[in-house]
Structure 1
Amino acid sequence: MHFHSVEHEKKFIELCERDKMNIKDVERRSLFFIFAGSEMLYKNIEMLYDFEDHTIRLEA
């Protein structure tokens, strides 16, 4: 993966660890890559993603 910055990489790793899902899940890794790369998405992650159910919040 080609991260935009060290901060982007740190946020990506944090989201992956927080989700506790299979690290080989390419779709989820892609989603977290996008979330981590956008300050607005990252700040609003709780509105966008449910870490307990491991699902996107469609109502967002």
Structure 2
Amino acid sequence: MFLGQEHKVRFDYFFKRDGTHQMDVERQAMFYIFAGNGELMDKLDFFYDFSERMIRIEGFDEVCLSSSAKSLVELGFNLYNNYPCGTVVDLFGNLDEKNRRLALNAIKLRFKMEEHDLLTCK
């Protein structure tokens, strides 16, 4: 499911730093997105307060992001706590193939979907 070794290492780091519970799929999905995008990997502190364990919406005003990275942050926030974001077309329209895979995998993680579930309509 991870896009590479660096993605897994970064995800594990975020997961441990936060003390995320194994069942907290909301945070896992958000951290999965941040860990898998090169532009966002080092910017998580702008968007998540580890001491308060909550998202920081003001991060959008503190850092400059590409439209692709902004869409991924919005999706991560939406998967975390239903933060209002654009439509699926709005979000995915800004993503290249790698980031589309990242977004889809985060959605699968959040909703505990397996590959075979998609094929069997479970």
TM-score (norm: length of structure 1):
0.91
* 1:47 corresponds to: 46
Deviations 1:22-57 (A, max 9, x none): 121001000000000012111111111100011110
> Does the 8 A contact of 1:19 with 1:54 survive in 2?
yes
Unaligned runs of 5+ in 1: none
Superposed CA RMSD = 0.8
Unaligned runs of 5+ in 2: 60-122
* 1:25 corresponds to: 24
> Does the 8 A contact of 1:16 with 1:23 survive in 2?
no
Q: Give the CA deviation at 1:58.
A: 1.0
Q: Select the structure of larger CA radius of gyration.
A: 2
Aligned-partner SS, 2:39: helix
* 2:120 corresponds to: none
Aligned residues: 59
* 1:34 corresponds to: 33
Moved over 6 A (4+): none
Q: Which amino acid aligns with 1:47?
A: F
* 1:11 corresponds to: 10
